[in-house]
Structure 1
Amino acid sequence: MGGTKINWLEWGSEAFAKAKKEDKPILLDISAVWCHWCHRMDEDTYSDNEVANIINEKFIPIKVDNDKRPDVNARYNMGGWPTTAVLTPEGETIAGATYIPPVQMKHFLEDLYDVYKKDKSEIKNKLSQISRRESIMSLAKIEEVKLNPEIFEDIVDNLVLNFDMEYGGFGIEPKFPSSEAIRLLLLKYRKSKNEQYLKMATKTLLAMYNSEMYDKVENGFFRYCVRRNWTEPHYEKMLEDHAELLRNYAEGYQASKDEEIKKAALGIIKYAQEKLENKEGGFFGSQDADEEYYKLDLEGRKKKTPPLIDKTIYVNWNGKMVSSYLYAFSVLQDTHLKEFALKTIDFVLKDCYSQEGGVCHFYATGKKGMGGLLTDNLYFASALLDAYEIAGEQKYLEKAKELADFMIKNFFDKEKGGFRDISNKHENLGKLEKAEHSFIENSFAARFFVRLYYITDNEEYHKKSEAVLKLLQTMYEYYGIFAATYALSLDFYLNHAMVNFIYSKKDEKSKSLHSELLKAYYPSKIIRMLEVNENKSQIEKLGYDPNTFPAAFVCFGTMCMPPAFNPEKLLGILAKQ
């Protein structure tokens, strides 16, 4: 493990047992392969002889990979990477920081070791007084909550209030992409036809693309920028960011028809194809930060070794990228996007999935890693639904249902109404003893389950979506612009378009109408694919004629429109709502 002078242990029962037996505090280092300052911490601080001696003598050192253990990171991150945290042998946080240079680290370690040895009872008393984030949820009486559509407008207003009118984006600095906020602005534009929201979204998209945040030599986006004007980027390139940004730029192009926004989407795809696609299926996790390399032109880079690509395949990020590839296919009609997305689904199902255990978190060096995380099952299940709507294959819907049932059984919290981030069978070391309820993941779960309900008519999925939305309504105000993901899900639940699409796989008109349905910018549409041969009985049960195809039956709530038999009629219906 990293840090050559330190006897690092892996996160696990052995390390915790050793800390308790020897009565030593734990030094927890959370790092990432793409993180520049994590490498600096290893090279500068953890390679210092005095620092290493203090740690090896007085602490139990544990090193955790952030990407492979998001459950640990969610509970112990001190505001960035690396995270440097000192814990009790039971796993409670005493103190922490991020990057610490060698001289300061010596004082930090000695002081905290003395505090631990001299004031154990005081530390225990203070820790017992600290309220956990779940306490907010425990106060909520979910059964009394009624969903409030006006919250959508409240969250949009907050985005406008925080929008940077000069440079685009939100807040002052540092500047992150804020992908869900951009999606919400685009959705608000579609609903209101108010150009203000479109301008805010496109200003941000173009500002990022034309700034130092975008690699103009090899394509792709860096993770974020330190300065308000999108300068001084942190140079790591992340699969998750590219998945979210590809969706942003694809939707941005749909809404604006701006060719430069389309060019940015194509640049993301080019980067992913050249650097992140695994030929057997799946996307690699990240590319390392290397400021010196990325500041060179093409000729200069040819003389250097490119930054390391982490070839670990993370299922949650792959789920997001599959969804974005499929969405971009519907907009750009590049068949490679669809084919590689479906190839990735097949890869994950083959190597990372079991009906009893759901999907694993990562796959590396021919082996699957740990499982039991909501994030992987949720985003991959959503990708399966996207594949069903685009490819029309029943097998994807069946797998999505399997994962939905798995999530309800293993992650749903009947007491609080939301989904836990770890399964009820997960390890319970340290703060993993208590589950978190991720606001972002629960927001997305509400969207997924309401989609699945309207496709399958399984009332259980509807109940879960409603319960999650009610829970999150009690706390969305705490999340600022990050509440955008809740607004998207709330609006999806309340104002979606349900499309029963009757078609024949062999019919060219069916393919054409389906293509136009996918291409239409209507983010809150749900498509139930009804093939005239495979789903004949279901078509008849719904009251439709299986001999009349292709046909799109669109309903907005309880208001159902006359059938659309051609693209013009279909687009006209969607445009009116």
Structure 2
Amino acid sequence: TYWPPVDRQGMPGFPKVLEAIYQAWRTNRQNVRQTASQVLGYLSASAGGAPAGGELTGKIADEAVRRLSAQFDPEWGGFGRAPKFPQASVLEFLLRHCRRTDDERPLEMLAVTLDRMAEGGIYDHLGGGFARYSVDDEWLVPHFEKMLYDNAQLMSVYLDAWRLTGREGYRRVVEETADWTLREMRSPEGGFYAALDADSEGVEGKFCVWTAGEIDALLDPEEADLVKLHYGVTESGNFEGQSILHVDRPLTGLAESSGESVTALAERLDRARGKLLTAREGRVRPGTDTKIIVSWNGLTIGALASAGAALGRSDLVDAARIAATLIVDEGIRENGGLARTLTAGQAGGDGMLEDHAFLADGLIALYAATAEHRWLEHAHKLARIIVERFAHTDGPGFFDTGAGHEQLIIRPRELQDGAIPCGNSVAIDVLLSLAHLREDERYSRYVDATLSSLATPMTEHPTAFGRFLAVLERTLADQRQLVLAGGTETAELSAAFMTRYEPFVTLAHAMDGDEGEGWPTLGNRPIPSGLSAAAFLCQGMTCLPPVTSPSALLGHLDAALR
């Protein structure tokens, strides 16, 4: 966890924590030893066999939604009280539940949460991207640290929300967050850095906040007035005498009161934002954690690839491809497993379950976006390593460390999703995708066994099992595969599909000859005579007649899936 250097916002400073540890060891050593022994016993028990399994039905998801509704903040969104974290895994579950059912409650919770976060101070209204969490219920005052993993996940959530609803505000958040990722988090080699600090010049948030006087000095009067009204910048401020930018008065309301069009105000606001961003770049910047963490890069590769394909942004797909190439070329050990980090070109540490699972998930998304089969093959190699080196021998699920990892007090096995999903939930999501593409029942059994063992906790504590619940939604839905045949000629068909939110359809690309060995779903697909590309919507090995145009494909999907 994070300890500030001095006491802050109810958290003790790290020196105080160290002093308390020292005093406890000096004055109460026997109790410390006894507590440590009890904790070790608990950890050993929790890492042992599987809990009792349960039947996997839609009732689990329905009850999870009901419990989330009870925790939901109807005014400001999110679940529970401050401090508020984005909880991207829970939002992804709600998105999939919306798509599978006719339940309107998840969409309402999603809309309020995504709107309020995008309007709040947790979102960077000049440079894009989200801070780690909000210290208040209103998403106004963030802990200003920006994490790569948060932004990768939220990029994916807002992208899927745009695909589902068509709301342009969500698309804007995706593009701005993607642009921030490429502009500020990308290493010269093409990997992505871990985080930006909260502090600059020893003061948290100094890089991001503004005074009314600074706004007036940098902008012309009309621009300054608009920025102050729209973003709630006042003389007194909302954070230690300065202002955190947040949407205080929407442009629609300002247009009504001023008599100007929303378009004219938006253009003026964009000009002003550009000037402020340029001025902000002249400030002392927060520090950057330049580690390239493989798992977090896996999240980012998947988010950028999917966003680029859906939005027609080839630069985002290219960035995902370059990052994937870097990790595959430099982050794979001699035994085929992954390193944990890349720093200054040096691989460090043994890759954990999450590194293998997150990267495999990202590579599957990159494969879907590019039709480059090498990424699918790399993902499958990682999946085999997960099964061979991380699988629990006495129960379902996977350990966090591989079989050859250095010996720890216990071999850890995380089975709850937090700020990032746990390795287990992403691993079974990957295995489910590969099970459908390879017709491999062994992978499906890992998925079912792991979910079954968590049936009760998923129901009772949904905020801790968001990604597991999202995988459950896939098992409850009628899974299909969309196989595109025709090589590069399939680009229009692929682009049409990628604009749709279809979490229960796995996009794949047909393989010719020996290339398709082991991928029965992707074997040779005959294209109708006289045409260069076709799309086959399949369920298992049974496929509907092919369609050859984007409009026909979308009609095909509507008829089959709705």
Quote the residue 2:46 is aligned against.
Answer: 135
Amino acid at match of 1:112: W
Deviations 1:161-205 (A, max 9, x none): 221111111112111111122222222333335554333212211
Amino acid at match of 1:295: V
**Secondary structure at 1:475's aligned position in 2?**
helix
Q: Do residues 279 (structure 1) and 188 (structure 2) align?
A: yes
Any runs of at least 4 consecutive aligned residues in structure 1 with deviations exceeding 4 A, and if so which?
100-108, 118-128, 193-196, 531-544, 546-549, 556-560
Q: Do residues 336 (structure 1) and 315 (structure 2) align?
A: yes
Shift of 1:391: 1.4
Residue 516 to residue 105, structure 1, CA distance change in 2 (3 Å):
closer
Residue 558 to residue 40, structure 1, CA distance change in 2 (3 Å):
same
Shift of 1:123: 4.8
- Aligned counterpart for 1:458 among listed residues 415, 429, 440: 440
- Aligned counterpart for 2:206 among listed residues 292, 295, 298: 292
Quote the residue 2:411 is aligned against.
Answer: 434
- Aligned counterpart for 2:296 among listed residues 305, 317, 328: 317
- Aligned counterpart for 2:387 among listed residues 391, 408, 433: 408
Percent identical residues: 24
Equivalent residue runs for 1:135-534 within 5 Å:
135=46, 138=49, 140-142=51-53, 145-290=54-199, 291-296=205-210, 298=276, 301-354=280-333, 356-429=335-408, 431=409, 433-439=410-416, 440-477=422-459, 479-507=461-489, 510-531=490-511
**Secondary structure at 2:182's aligned position in 1?**
helix
Quote the residue 1:115 is aligned against.
Answer: 28
**Structure 1: distance between partners of 2:342 and 2:102:** 44
Contact kept? 1:552, 1:564, Cα under 8 Å: yes
Shift of 1:105: 5.7
Contact kept? 1:502, 1:531, Cα under 8 Å: no
**Higher-RCO chain (CA-CA 8 Å, sequence separation at least 6):** 2
**Structure 2: distance between partners of 1:316 and 1:465:** 20
**Structure 2: distance between partners of 1:412 and 1:228:** 40
**Structure 2: distance between partners of 1:531 and 1:258:** 36
> Any unmatched runs of 5+ in structure 1?
1-30, 45-79, 81-96
Contact kept? 2:483, 2:538, Cα under 8 Å: no
Shift of 1:496: 4.6
**Structure 1: distance between partners of 2:364 and 2:334:** 17
Equivalent residue runs for 1:38-77 within 5 Å:
38-40=4-6
Contact kept? 1:288, 1:309, Cα under 8 Å: yes
Residue 287 to residue 120, structure 1, CA distance change in 2 (3 Å):
closer
**Structure 2: distance between partners of 1:197 and 1:390:** 28
> Any unmatched runs of 5+ in structure 2?
200-204, 215-275, 417-421
Aligned residues: 482
Residue 134 to residue 372, structure 1, CA distance change in 2 (3 Å):
farther
TM-score by length of 1: 0.76
**Secondary structure at 1:172's aligned position in 2?**
coil
**Structure 1: distance between partners of 2:497 and 2:279:** 46
Shift of 1:519: 2.1
- Aligned counterpart for 1:570 among listed residues 553, 557, 560: 553
Deviations 1:411-468 (A, max 9, x none): 0012111110111222224x3x332233332222211101011112233222222222
Amino acid at match of 2:206: E
Deviations 1:307-348 (A, max 9, x none): 011121111000000000011112211000111101111000
Contact kept? 2:486, 2:534, Cα under 8 Å: no
Amino acid at match of 1:553: F
**Structure 2: distance between partners of 1:505 and 1:542:** 13
**Structure 1: distance between partners of 2:336 and 2:521:** 36
Contact kept? 1:326, 1:341, Cα under 8 Å: yes
**Secondary structure at 1:554's aligned position in 2?**
strand
Contact kept? 2:431, 2:444, Cα under 8 Å: yes
Quote the residue 2:231 is aligned against.
Answer: none
Shift of 1:354: 3.0
Residue 543 to residue 438, structure 1, CA distance change in 2 (3 Å):
same
Contact kept? 1:331, 1:518, Cα under 8 Å: yes
**Secondary structure at 1:425's aligned position in 2?**
coil
Deviations 1:19-38 (A, max 9, x none): xxxxxxxxxxxx6xxx5x44
**Secondary structure at 1:353's aligned position in 2?**
coil
TM-score by length of 2: 0.78
